[in-house]
Amino acid sequence: MSRPITVTQPYLPPLEEFQPYLEQIWQNKWLTNAGPFHQQLEDELARYLGVEHLALFSNGTIALVTALQALRITGEVITTPYSFVATAHSLLWNNLKPVFADIDPDTFNLDPQKIEEAITPQTTAIMPVHVYGRPCDTAAIQKIADTYGLKVIYDAAHAFAVTQGEESVLKAGDLSVLSFHATKVFNTFEGGAIVCPDATTKQRIDYLKNFGFADEVTVVAPGINGKMNEIQAAFGLLQLKHMAEILQRRQEIDNRYRAALAGVKGIRILPLPDNSRQNYSYFPILVEADYPLSRDALYQKLREQDIYARRYFYPLISAFPMYRGLASATPANLPVASRIAEQVICLPIYPALENSDVDRVIELIAG
């Protein structure tokens, strides 16, 4: 049997390319706290992503928690059940009440109409997710936010380098949060960032991620330790040099799956969004009623061949014990998300995946 195939695998550049960065760190003896590689990565990422300002973090979850602190969000926040659990956990860590709204059946992102229906006098913010890097209906969400006076914080953990037209999708809303976890398209082992529109907001976020220190003797907020260290930042700088090849290989794999699976009865694939540069971070398929196997049977069949596809996102966040008691968490309130969670499988996609591996996965699904 061939080697196991996981849903994703981190991209690692040639080891010798990392050596000069390490030598630099050893020479500087500056290991963390806004070191030179940290500052350089903030600048280079802002330029690469086409955004004004960003603040690096030790991971995406601390960045989400801090984004909510920065905007002083209170009360209820409308969010999606169809995401990684950290989205809603960041609300509980701020003593906020998550209110789950259903998703759109074609994009799997929050349905703007369902957001509007979930608003109460306690609502202060919306936390949507660009699921699989596919942009939310940001215009409709902003209109609702403006009408009701709400903040919008995007969990953009999947949306690295994604655009809507020429514009970065990370410019939508008040803040956007990225994750650079090892499983993501761009990684710094662990890491993340908050994208913000102006220097004043970035300054405040920089205080918050460093215990609230504004200078040696002044603490302006009950901040957290969310700082990215120099080794992480150096790795990010090196990886940024390889992004073009990483994205190109991902696109080739996406195209290969797309072409081969488009005609398979009972398998639904999502069309690529119009007018959007994608990052090909995930390849979800839906196993529908007219496929010969159930979703879980297909998932098991792949596992038996050492192919570890994942059911992102199953279970829904709203099904976990700390959420399921909420009125908005009932499956009756979330019919679309509940159905998609029972049908989805994300197929392996990462730069080192070979065409022969892709073809094996296709053969098992289509054959």
Ligand X SMILES: *Cc1c(COP(=O)(O)O)cnc(C)c1O
Residue whose pair of structure tokens reads 């950290």 in the numeric block: 86
- 165 phi and psi, to 5 degrees? 60, -130
Beta-sheet pairing, 267-269 with 283-287: antiparallel
Q: Taking CB under 6 A as the rule, does residue 8 contact ligand X?
A: no
To the nearest whole angstrom, how small is the minimum distance from the Cβ of residue 313 to ligand X?
9
Q: Taking CB under 6 A as the rule, does residue 279 contact ligand X?
A: no
Residue closer to ligand X by CB (options 157, 246) is 157
Contact 196, 53 (CB under 8 A): yes
Total site size for ligand X, rule CB under 6 A: 14
Residue whose pair of structure tokens reads 């009440």 in the numeric block: 97
Show the site string, 148-167: x = touches ligand X by CB under 6 A, - = not: -------x-xx---------
DSSP string, 12-55: ---GGGTHHHHHHHHHHT--SSS-HHHHHHHHHHHHHHT-SEEE
Identify residues 173-202 at the interface with ligand X (CB under 6 A). Answer: 179, 181, 192
Gap between the Cα atoms of 108 and 133, Å rounded: 11
Residue closer to ligand X by CB (options 157, 169) is 157
Q: Taking CB under 6 A as the rule, does residue 232 contact ligand X?
A: no
Contact 134, 108 (CB under 8 A): yes
To the nearest whole angstrom, how small is the minimum distance from the Cβ of residue 57 to ligand X?
8
Question: Where do runs of H (alpha helix) occur along 223-317?
Answer: 230-240, 243-261, 295-304
Residue 104, classed as helix, strand or coil, is coil
Show the site string, 111-140: x = touches ligand X by CB under 6 A, - = not: ------------------x-----------
To the nearest whole angstrom, how small is the minimum distance from the Cβ of residue 261 to ligand X?
23
Identify residues 344-363 at the interface with ligand X (CB under 6 A). Answer: none
Q: Taking CB under 6 A as the rule, does residue 71 contact ligand X?
A: no
Phi-psi region of 231 (alpha: psi -120 to 50; beta: other; left: phi over 0): alpha
Residue closer to ligand X by CB (options 176, 360) is 176
Q: Can you give the binding site for ligand X, defined by CB under 6 A? A: 59-61, 83-84, 86-87, 129, 155, 157-158, 179, 181, 192
